[in-house]
Amino acid sequence: MSDIKKVVLAYSGGLDTSVIAKWLQQTYNCEVVTFTADIGQGEEVEPARAKAEAMGIKEIYIEDLREEFVRDYVYPMFRANTIYEGEYLLGTSIARPLIAKRLVEIAEATGADAVSHGATGKGNDQVRFELGAYALTPGIKVIAPWREWDLNSRDRLMAYAAEHEIPVDFKKAGTKSPYSMDANLLHISYEGGILEDPWAEAEEDMWRWTVSPEAAPDEAEYVDLTYAAGDIVAVNGKALSPANVLAELNRLGGKHGVGRLDIVENRYVGMKSRGCYETPGGTIMLRAHRAIESLTLDRESAHLKDSLMPKYAELIYNGYWWSPERLAMQKLIDATQECVNGEVRLKLYKGNVILVGRRSEDSLFDASIATFDDDAGAYNQKDAEGFIKLNALRLRIAARAGRKLS
């Protein structure tokens, strides 16, 4: 007999997790608690309550986590200008530690023995959910049905749902979607279908958040972003909460065809995966943050951040948000942001985010020194001679010693 008496399930209300809820009840003879998070996926989450109740589930958690998601996860990540493998803005990756945190918190609050998720055994999400759960609650039991059951196809899932009278929208479920999608306030992702052929172009009607650059307005739109300590606090002069900032930038970017991405990425489990992403607000945020940092950050601080960023991105992608190394790096990153204040002006036009201006009271740009006109003695150009000779000393010594350069 299983020692699992109660399980908290990350529950979307869709086919997979509805089947999982019933499967957990049957396989483990346990009570199931459902947790549904609204992190800005753009779909109603309340219907999940009725579906859970129909399966006899008594404890149902439905939470609006949009502000926490952007404030405590997206914003800290963007302070580091984070991109994975040069392109991916980590929209799926950054949502997982928050869900994992709430799963184990609810497990503790309800006296549950285990948590469960609907991630498959091929993907990154199983790693992210479970590393987060174990980091926060080391003794927690994790149940991953996709690694245990034989319901390894959509047809088998639907047959199981029908057999056990699981409340699924069969009209919707029976119409096979060509893509596996994940959405939150930062992005929406697409995998599967024709995208499994890396040569095949994504169909135009796949994209949901952005118009094609060709169909975008013929007139550019300007947007002003206000920064305080590295975070956007206002859009076009209007103060907004973190979640509302991202929602507004998604709207503006989507309107102008900004933020489409088609990549083949290296999953942590070892395989390559082709995915398409829409990240309109995040694309704007990355461009703007680098712009305000260019004005306010010391050179060596900026270069140190850039050198650390690939490792930081890898930690998030691989599920190590709660690791001591990520937390240590975050402290360093956040410490650099104290003077990252000011305004950035961008122009959005047919898929492009064009920087046109930046200003800050904490600017390190000194026009009296950088000018091409008469600097009135602010910079002594003769000083450069000694600077160059000192930096060339080791090169000259090596050359005199006959060291080959090729």
Please write the tens of the pLDDT for every residue from 214-229. 999 999 999 999 999 9
Instruction: Point out the domain boundary residue: 176, 195, 218.
Output: 176
Q: Does the pLDDT value for residue 169 go beyond 80?
A: no
Please tell me whether residues 169 and 200 are part of one structural domain: no
111 & 250 share domain: no
Q: Which residue range forms the structural domain that includes residue 354?
A: 183-297+336-359
Task: For the chain, give the percent of residues with pLDDT over 90.
Answer: 86
Tell whether 260 and 348 lie within a shared domain: yes
Q: Pull the structure tokens for residue 281.
A: 């607000």
Catalytic site residue 156?
A: no
Residues 171 and 41 in one domain: yes
Whether 362 and 339 have beta carbons less than 8 Å apart is answered as yes
Predicted structure pTM score: 0.94
Asked if residue 315 is part of any domain, the answer here is no
Length of the chain: 406
Tell me: do 152 and 34 sit in the same domain: yes
Whether 36 and 157 map to the same domain: the answer is yes
Give the domain-ending residue among 176, 193, 209: 176
Query: Which residues are 35's β-sheet partners?
Result: 10, 61
* Annotated catalytic residue within 12, 16, 113, 116: 16
The reply to whether 108 falls in a domain is yes
pLDDT of 158 strictly over 80: yes
Per-residue pLDDT reduced to its tens digit, 327-352? 999 999 999 999 999 999 999 999 99
Rounded Cα distance between 140 and 142, Å, is: 6
165 within domain boundaries: yes
Residue at 74 is within a domain: no
Q: Do 159 and 270 have their domain in common?
A: no
- Which pLDDT value is given to residue 167? 80
The closest alpha carbon to 123, from 42, 41, 180, belongs to: 180
Q: Both 247 and 288 in a single domain?
A: yes
Q: What is the chain's mean pLDDT, rounded?
A: 94
- pLDDT tens per residue across span 14-28: 889 999 999 999 999
Mean pLDDT of 97-125: 96
Do 95 and 171 sit in the same domain of this protein?
Answer: yes
Q: Specify if 317 maps to a domain.
A: no
Question: 344 near 292, Cβ under 8 Å?
Answer: yes
16 is catalytic: yes
Do 251 and 157 lie in a common domain?
A: no
First to last CA, the chain: 70
Domain count, the chain: 2
39: Cα separation from own chain's centroid: 12
Across the range 271-294, mean pLDDT stands at 98
Residue 364 lies in a domain: no
Residue 311 has pLDDT above 50, yes or no: yes
At 46, the pLDDT band (50, 70, 90 cuts) reads: confident
Q: Is 287 among the catalytic positions?
A: no
**Among residues 152, 151, 169, which one has the least CA distance to residue 160?**
151
**96/143 same-domain check:** yes
Between CA 58 and CA 68 the distance in angstroms is 26
Specify the higher pLDDT residue, 44 or 37. Answer: 37
Q: Are strands 238-239 and 231-235 parallel, antiparallel or unpaired?
A: antiparallel
Residue 359 has what pLDDT?
98
What's 33's domain CATH number? Answer: 3.40.50.620
* Three-state DSSP state, 107: helix
Beta bridge partners of 206: none
Options 38, 113, 125, 231, the catalytic residue: 125
Among residues 71, 154, 180, 334, the one annotated as catalytic is 180
Please say if 180 is a catalytic residue: yes
Of all residues in the chain, the percent with pLDDT exceeding 70 is: 98
C-alpha closest to that of 285 among 330, 233, 209, 335:
233
| pLDDT category of residue 176 using cuts at 50, 70 and 90 | low
Q: Which of 336, 135, 161 is nearest to 231 (CA)?
A: 336
- Same-domain check for residues 214 and 345: yes
CATH of the domain at 242: 3.90.1260.10
**Cβ neighbours of residue 25 closer than 8 Å, sequence gap 6 or more:** 31, 32, 55, 56
